[in-house]
Chains A and B, each alone.
Chain A
Amino acid sequence: MVSAVVSTGEAQAQRPLGAAASDLAIELVKINKRFGPVHANKDIDLKVRRGTVHGIVGENGAGKSTLMSILYGFYTADSGEIRVNGRAEAITDSRYALKLGIGMVHQHFMLVDNFSILENVVLGAEDSALLGKSLTRARAELTRLAREYRLEVDPDAIIEDVSVGTQQRVEILKALYRGADVLILDEPTGVLTPAEADDLFRVLNVLRDQGKTIILITHKLREIMAVTDYVSVMRQGQMVETLKTSETSPEQLAELMVGRRVLLRVDKGAAHPGDTFLSVEDLVVKDDLGVTRVKGVSFSVRAGEIVGIAGVAGNGQSELLESVSGMRDQSAGTVKLKGVPLSLEGDDGAHRARKAGLAHVPEDRQRMGLITSFEEWENAMLGYEDDKAYGKGLLLDINAARAEARERIAKFDIRPTNERLKTANFSGGNQQKIVLAREMERNPDVLIVGQPTRGVDIGAIEFIHNQIIKMRDAGKAILLVSVELDEIRSLSDRILVMFDGQIVGEADPATATEQELGLMMAGIGKEAGK
């Protein structure tokens, strides 16, 4: 299921593992860092060879980001030594890290939206009070970088007008412009479409071939296999192992990350579809800016089947989900549940959808599905707070709500097992389980799931996938939207491909190849599946 998108090249493979110290761009020795009672990094040793792409994998909370923040000077280690190019350095702030040639591309971009690319590159690295000279120099430098590393951008484009992939490119250019030799990328593909991710990997390969050193933090094994030369696995604050990527497998890495054997494949039996539960007819939806994002979509989902909607992010899937679940007004069309049209207009449309038996696990749990500043039990009833289970009349029966939350924590193995804890203190996987438990335990007829495993660690992915299949086998209709093609293919009983606001094809996951789906997702060969 994991395929290398970009060949890793052979040059780096010739270097033996026990390379001389001068080959090391970065060496971390016995790094320790504690946050209160949490020992985030325990005696970490790491050697990163110059001119390689070095992956660091681990589940959320394994300590990857802390380690990189120490290297980048954002945190100071409690003990341990950092050696850059063989010399011990005390990196006290990121400015000094930059001086040593260490640049970081953060998960969340640090760009000024209404500045041009050129201005963003110069920002903070101006030569003098007057901008003219800096801008001229930066423009020349950008042209050189573009040529050397094949990082073409339009220097005068405004950040808010360019794609996320381009914004990331600007972040890389910023680091290079400041003279970075070692680039740290923190979960760089989290916001990218598959095509943009492939593009990023291509850039990383070029950078490596030009002698730059790249440290890639990720929890996606596919990316590790596709682009890295070496990979270090972290688990619970410790460095478990460093391996040559060519000598390992996703299965082995997953086992090292989680500490037990993990099924990377989804086990599911054949679907037994029944009556049509959800039907969407000629749906038209506009986004917040008034742009039509869903252009007349019709499809149906039957009881006991999972219909997956594949597509590159931004082709109307989000608006489709939000509209069907009642979060976003529709411009035209009907949504029927068991043949009855749903009334979804207004800002309480989602409430009526839930009442009718349509549950929704949203794409972005932190922005939509949860209130992270609330305690867990409060989120466990979000959207269902009117239910009789939580008290009579206006008053809320807090004890009943907490008792129910405790039951679900046990049933869905949510950790930590404390319903009074702030939701922000749960890991991504556990937050997703809170949402899933809430939406599944109501026994809805239709479950709409967006990006069920985005930012979720491997151990939890297995659990979440199994829960979704259990719902299907219980005779529910499930609509799944994911930008992870692997996920769509392994879970769905039927795949619909969405491109530019329309459904451009239907495919059978058992027979459709990744290439066929990829072409449809790109809008090529519209009739391929029909």
Chain B
Amino acid sequence: MSALKPLPRWADIILLPLINLTLAFIVAGLVVFAIGQNPLAALDAIITGAFGSGYNIGYTLYYSTNFIFTGLAVAVAAHAGLFNIGGNGQAYIAGLGVILVALAMQSLPWWLTFPVAILAGAAVGGFWGFVPGYLQAKRGSHVVITTIMFNFIASAIMIYVVVNLLKPPGILAPESASIAVEGRMPKLGTFIPWFKNTDVNFTLILALICLVGAYFLIWHTRFGFAMRALGQNPTATRYAGMSNSRITMIVMTMSGALAGMVAVNQVFGVQYRLVLDYVADAGFVGIAVALMGRNHPLGILLAALLFGALYQGGNELQYVIPGLSKEMVVVIQALVILFTGAMEGLFRPALQRLFSGGPAAARSGG
């Protein structure tokens, strides 16, 4: 009965996020201006910092890799009507699987270890998603609550395991032993010199494969159909006889496994050892990425690139403009998340009015 029609697809996927992003930058610019710096110089520093050279792009892509995984983790669950806030914990604990495999196979060539590390990360991350899924499906505990709690449990377990079990004697930092040099995966810069020695690695390819895979899973498989059905109307799936509990558990497992791929990027691709808090809240950024990307793999790719650029550009910003501290960068990133994620619907009604025929719709006819 509403007089407002839904937005055309392109406006929903491109125009609306662009407007939100512009507004975020304007407000961030005002903040920069308020502390006595030039907003345009800051914007220039961020863009140059993110895309200025192969070096900058390499780091942007490295951050984006993490955000693709966590964004997909949130999106896949969201299609089934599940809000997985546990991406952080799932990505974190998956590091256990990755490092154990990597250390056990460190004398073998990296390309043998890589797929096994992926499976191990997926298995451990997936398990960390499965348990909340099981608890919701069989015991009625809401995943929003359990996944948040599982983030804390993961954090505590990891501290215990790293400090008490994995840390070799003689090392002061709380971290595991490093993978032997001959077992390490080379970075992309080894093959594409343009990237220099940046952290972007083969996990990026894995992320792109996951994007395509998620697209097929969601829209081209029977299971995808069932999980979207569950997300839209759980009574109808019960009527259809799709097992709601089974779908919930499988989706949460897949979601956790996707988040777990962050561990492959960080532990196997970059740091070669397990350090504490290596996820660096990528799991939470994934929520914003999924929101901004409308839970669509293409949107997630773009949103992950944006946030990757913001992370990398923001890191550079503090070196280019000394007056802008690292905290300032966090403020800018937070504003982007606020406008593109939390308040993404801000302009929707106005845009809908515009697309429904503007003022003509209000005063026509007769």
Q: Check A92 for interface membership: any CB of B closer than 8 A.
A: no
Q: Check A333 for interface membership: any CB of B closer than 8 A.
A: no
Whether A78 contacts B243 by the Cβ 8 Å rule is no
Whether A368 contacts B366 by the Cβ 8 Å rule is no
Whether B235 contacts A354 by the Cβ 8 Å rule is no
A68-90 residues at the B interface, CB under 8 angstroms: 69, 75-76, 78-80
Whether B246 contacts A395 by the Cβ 8 Å rule is no
Whether A35 contacts B3 by the Cβ 8 Å rule is yes
Whether B241 contacts A362 by the Cβ 8 Å rule is no
Query: What A residues does B229 contact at CB under 8 A?
Result: 371, 374, 382
Closest to A367 in B: B235
Q: What's the Cα separation between A79 and B362 when bound, in Å? A: 10
Q: Which of A33, A69, A373 contacts B232 (CB 8 A)?
A: A373
Whether B239 contacts A327 by the Cβ 8 Å rule is yes
B317-366 residues at the A interface, CB under 8 angstroms: 356-357, 361-366
Closest to B2 in A: A35
Selected interface stretch from B95-103, B170-178, B217-225: B217-225
Q: What's the Cα separation between A400 and B220 when bound, in Å? A: 12
Q: Check B1 for interface membership: any CB of A closer than 8 A.
A: yes
Q: What's the Cα separation between A10 and B93 when bound, in Å? A: 80
Q: Could you mark each residue 1-21 of chain B with 1 if its beta carbon is under 8 Å from any beta carbon of chain A, else 0?
A: 101010000000000000000
Q: Check B236 for interface membership: any CB of A closer than 8 A.
A: yes
Q: What's the Cα separation between A66 and B2 when bound, in Å? A: 10
Query: What B residues does A165 contact at CB under 8 A?
Result: none
Q: Which of B1, B3, B224, B244 contacts A396 (CB 8 A)?
A: B224
Closest to A355 in B: B241
Q: Whole-angstrom distance from the CB of A71 to the nearest CB of chain B?
A: 15
Whether B241 contacts A349 by the Cβ 8 Å rule is yes
Check A350/B238 contact, CB under 8 A, given A374-B232, A396-B224, A398-B220: yes
A348-395 residues at the B interface, CB under 8 angstroms: 348-354, 360, 362, 367-374, 378, 381-383, 385-386, 390-391, 394-395
Whether A347 contacts B239 by the Cβ 8 Å rule is no
Query: What A residues does B221 contact at CB under 8 A?
Result: 394-396
Whether A351 contacts B235 by the Cβ 8 Å rule is no
Q: What's the Cα separation between A39 and B365 when bound, in Å? A: 9
Q: What's the Cα separation between A370 and B233 when bound, in Å? A: 8
Q: Could you mark each residue 197-227 of chain B with 1 if its beta carbon is under 8 Å from any beta carbon of chain A, else 0?
A: 0000000000000000000100011111110
Q: Check B240 for interface membership: any CB of A closer than 8 A.
A: yes
Query: What A residues does B222 contact at CB under 8 A?
Result: 385-386, 390-391, 394-396
Q: What's the Cα separation between A319 and B6 when bound, in Å? A: 37
Whether A348 contacts B246 by the Cβ 8 Å rule is yes
Whether B243 contacts A347 by the Cβ 8 Å rule is yes
Check A352/B241 contact, CB under 8 A, given A371-B232, A382-B229: yes
Q: Which of A66, A76, A383, A394 contacts B239 (CB 8 A)?
A: A383
Q: What's the Cα separation between A290 and B242 when bound, in Å? A: 23
Query: What A residues does B236 contact at CB under 8 A?
Result: 367-371, 382
Q: What's the Cα separation between A286 and B250 when bound, in Å? A: 29
Query: What A residues does B364 contact at CB under 8 A?
Result: 34, 78
Q: Check A242 for interface membership: any CB of B closer than 8 A.
A: no
Q: Whole-angstrom distance from the CB of A259 to the nearest CB of chain B?
A: 23
Q: Check B245 for interface membership: any CB of A closer than 8 A.
A: yes
Whether A396 contacts B238 by the Cβ 8 Å rule is no
Query: What B residues does A396 contact at CB under 8 A?
Result: 220-222, 224-225
Query: What B residues does A12 contact at CB under 8 A?
Result: none
Q: Whole-angstrom distance from the CB of B4 to the nearest CB of chain A?
A: 9
Query: What B residues does A350 contact at CB under 8 A?
Result: 238-241
Whether A385 contacts B1 by the Cβ 8 Å rule is no
Interface Cβ pair total, 8 Å cutoff: 105
Whether A368 contacts B235 by the Cβ 8 Å rule is yes
B interface, by DSSP: helix, strand, loop or mixed? helix
Q: What's the Cα separation between A90 and B228 when bound, in Å? A: 45
Query: What B residues does A362 contact at CB under 8 A?
Result: 239
Q: Which of B226, B233, B365 contacts A33 (CB 8 A)?
A: B365
Q: Whole-angstrom distance from the CB of B2 to the nearest CB of chain A?
A: 9
Q: Whole-angstrom distance from the CB of B139 to the nearest CB of chain A?
A: 14
Whether A383 contacts B361 by the Cβ 8 Å rule is no
Q: What's the Cα separation between A385 and B246 when bound, in Å? A: 16
Query: What B residues does A347 contact at CB under 8 A?
Result: 238, 241, 243-246
Q: Check A315 for interface membership: any CB of B closer than 8 A.
A: no
Query: What A residues does B224 contact at CB under 8 A?
Result: 396
Q: What's the Cα separation between A66 and B232 when bound, in Å? A: 28
Check A326/B365 contact, CB under 8 A, given A368-B235, A373-B232, A374-B232: no
A335-352 residues at the B interface, CB under 8 angstroms: 346-352
Q: Check A36 for interface membership: any CB of B closer than 8 A.
A: yes
Q: What's the Cα separation between A383 and B362 when bound, in Å? A: 42
Check A371/B366 contact, CB under 8 A, given A327-B239, A385-B225: no
Check A354/B241 contact, CB under 8 A, given A36-B357, A395-B220, A398-B220: yes
Q: Check A166 for interface membership: any CB of B closer than 8 A.
A: no
Q: Which of A75, A78, A378 contacts B365 (CB 8 A)?
A: A78
A376-432 residues at the B interface, CB under 8 angstroms: 378, 381-383, 385-386, 390-391, 394-396, 398
Whether B241 contacts A326 by the Cβ 8 Å rule is yes
Check A78/B363 contact, CB under 8 A, given A36-B357, A347-B245, A385-B226: yes
Closest to B217 in A: A394
Check A36/B240 contact, CB under 8 A, given A386-B222, A396-B220: no
Q: What's the Cα separation between A368 and B366 when bound, in Å? A: 41
Q: Whole-angstrom distance from the CB of B304 to the nearest CB of chain A?
A: 26
Query: What B residues does A353 contact at CB under 8 A?
Result: 241
> Which of B238, B356, B361, B363 lies at the interface centre, i.e. has the most chain A CB atoms within 10 A of its CB?
B238
Whether B366 contacts A79 by the Cβ 8 Å rule is yes
Whether B225 contacts A378 by the Cβ 8 Å rule is yes
Check A36/B239 contact, CB under 8 A, given A394-B223, A398-B220: no
Closest to A378 in B: B225
Q: Whole-angstrom distance from the CB of A355 to the nearest CB of chain B?
A: 9
Whether A351 contacts B240 by the Cβ 8 Å rule is yes
Q: Whole-angstrom distance from the CB of A412 to the nearest CB of chain B?
A: 19
Q: Check A65 for interface membership: any CB of B closer than 8 A.
A: yes
Query: What B residues does A78 contact at CB under 8 A?
Result: 363-366
Closest to B243 in A: A348
Closest to A382 in B: B240
> Which of A78, A348, A378, A381 lies at the interface centre, i.e. has the most chain B CB atoms within 10 A of its CB?
A348
5 contacts between A and B (CB under 8 A): A79-B366, A347-B241, A349-B241, A350-B241, A396-B221
Nearest 4 CB-CB pairs, A to B? Answer: A351-B241, A79-B366, A350-B241, A78-B365
Given contacts A76-B362, A385-B226, A394-B223, 4 further A-B contacts (CB under 8 A): A36-B357, A78-B364, A370-B236, A374-B229
Interface set of B (CB-CB < 8 Å, partner A): 1, 3, 5, 216, 220-226, 228-229, 232-233, 235-236, 238-246, 356-357, 361-366
